[in-house]
Homo-oligomer: A and B are copies of this chain.
C-alpha cells in the first residue's frame, strides 16, 4: 500500500475536482497538476491498474472506494501538518500549504495519529478546511459566529446579523464585507474583544457587540 509522491498528488487532485462534478476530465487534471494532458492519460492507466479509480478512455475518471480512502488519508496528513505549522511553529497561514504539500507524503500512519493527538485533535486546518479524523470522517463545514472561530483559522464573512447603517459604517471603516477573508489573531478575555487580521491590512480590534453580528464560513476545500 505504498504510493509514490506523484501518484498521491494525482489521487488528491481527483478527489478535490470530484467534489462538484461526478466525473473528472483529463484536461481539468492536467490544469490542476500543471502537467500535460498526455502525462495525465499515462498516469490514469497506471492508477486504474492499481484499482484506485474507474477510467474508460475519453469517458473521464472517478475514484473507487480505495481511491477515496487514500485521498482522505493524504488530506488528513496535509491539514494536520498545516495546523502544526501554524499553531506550534508560528507560520502564517498563507505560507504553510507549500510545505504541507511535501509533508503529506511522509508514510508513517503512526506518526500522523500521534501528531493528531499532540495537536489535541483539531477540527479544522488554518484555512478553515475540515480535518478528517483517524477513521476518515470529516465534520461538515458550516457557518459560525465570528466569536466561535478559533484563533488563526482563516474564514470568509458570509452573513451580517442585521444591516443597519450603524453596523455598515463600522464594517466599511474596517474594510469588512461579505466574502472578506479574515482570521482572529487574539481574543481578549477582559471584554471579549477580538483582534482581526485581513490580508494587506494591519490588524485591528473589534468589540464583542460587533463580533456577535458577524458570521463566517471556513473556506471551501480547494486550496486544501
How many copies of this chain?
A: 2
Q: Beta-carbon contacts of A95-136 to B below 8 Å, as 1s and 0s?
A: 000110011001110110011011000000000000000000
Q: Is A89 an interface residue (CB 8 A)?
A: yes
Are B91 and A102 in contact, with the CB atoms below 8 A? Answer: no
Are B91 and A114 in contact, with the CB atoms below 8 A? Answer: yes
A6 to B102, CA, bound (A): 16
Residues of B within 8 A of A106 (CB): 99, 102-103, 106
Are A89 and B102 in contact, with the CB atoms below 8 A? Answer: no
A79 to B53, CA, bound (A): 39
Cβ-closest chain B residue relative to A90: B114
Q: Is A74 an interface residue (CB 8 A)?
A: no
Number of interface residues of A (CB under 8 A): 18
Q: Is A85 an interface residue (CB 8 A)?
A: yes
Mostly, the A contact residues are helix
A91 to B117, CA, bound (A): 13
Which residue among A107, A111, A115 has the maximum number of chain B CB atoms within 10 Å of its CB? A111
Q: Is A88 an interface residue (CB 8 A)?
A: yes
A148 to B15, CA, bound (A): 52
- Contacts A89-B118, A91-B114 known; 13 new A-B pairs at CB < 8 A: A85-B111, A88-B118, A89-B111, A89-B114, A89-B115, A89-B117, A90-B114, A91-B110, A99-B106, A99-B108, A99-B111, A102-B106, A102-B107
User: A residues bordering B, Cβ < 8 Å?
Assistant: 85, 88-91, 98-99, 102-103, 106-108, 110-111, 114-115, 117-118
